[in-house]
Chains A and B, each alone.
Chain A
């Protein structure tokens, strides 16, 4: 399909291990976002990529979190030395991001991360 895809869909890891989450945005979308949703809470902004501009990392909760994006394609969110409080659904979204199309973000299905 042509939607946003994320992998893996589920990830169970042990405390202290590193994890890498992947997002494939919709082709042609220049903007890409990562969010986190903890159980019973709203969407928490993590990081935003827009074209070749420097990413907005203002939402990353600690230096254990990092993300990269290759051009306008795949993005990976890496969490080092995972902690139990990192357990959440990590959602990726993409949008056209141009000034004439402000609005809809298209979300992937999310990766459910469980840290034991």
Chain B
């Protein structure tokens, strides 16, 4: 059972426009969420996180929105740049579980067209 789902395997966006990457989860115990970016042949790098006590967190061009009732989060990148082209993973964790184990989605490959 895939507890964290990224239903869009790929997304193409024009440079300067907004990129919206979506992530859904099924486990209501998840209360901490992260987004990672991965370039080919490199390990993922952390982008932004959000706790379930918030519904929005912003860092520069990156904003993550959390809709707890829908068990849905999204990452907005605006304006999109060609260097943003990468695979984006969302990850979820339950801070009340006493561990720091993360469940990752399958990733969305973003291509920003110049």
Picked from A50, A104, A106, the residue with its CB within 8 Å of the CB of B34 is A104
Assess whether B106 is in contact with A105, with CB atoms less than 8 Å apart. Answer: no
Number of chain A residues whose Cβ lies closer than 8 Å to a Cβ of chain B: 25
Rounded to whole angstroms, the CA-CA distance of A31 and B102 in the bound complex is 12
Type the 1/0 row for B41-63, where 1 means its CB is closer than 8 Å to any CB of A: 11111100100000000000000
A44 to B2 CA separation, bound complex (whole angstroms): 10
Map CB proximity to B onto A69-100 as digits: 1 under 8 Å, 0 otherwise: 00000000000000000000001010101000
5 further interface pairs, Cβ-Cβ under 8 Å (given A56-B99, A56-B101, A104-B46) = A48-B101, A93-B43, A107-B36, A107-B45, A109-B42
| Set of chain A residues within 8 Å of B6, measured between Cβ atoms | 42
Q: Is B113 an interface residue (CB 8 A)?
A: no
Partner of B106, one of A41, A97, A109: A41
Known: A91-B44, A102-B32. A45 touches B101 (CB 8 A): yes
Contact surface of A with B, Cβ cutoff 8 Å: 4, 31, 33, 35, 41-45, 48, 50, 56, 91, 93, 95, 97, 102-110
Q: In the assembled complex, how far is the CB of residue A72 from the closest CB belonging to chain B, in whole angstroms?
A: 14
Q: How far is the CB of A26 from chain B (nearest CB, A)?
A: 12
Chain A proximity of B108: nearest CB distance (Å) = 10
Given the known interface contacts A42-B106, A102-B93, A104-B49, the answer about A48 and B43 at a Cβ–Cβ threshold of 8 Å is: no
* Inter-subunit contact A42/B107 (CB<8 Å): yes
Whether A48 lies near B89 (C-beta < 8 A) is no
CB < 8 Å: which of B32, B44, B103, B104 contacts A103? B32
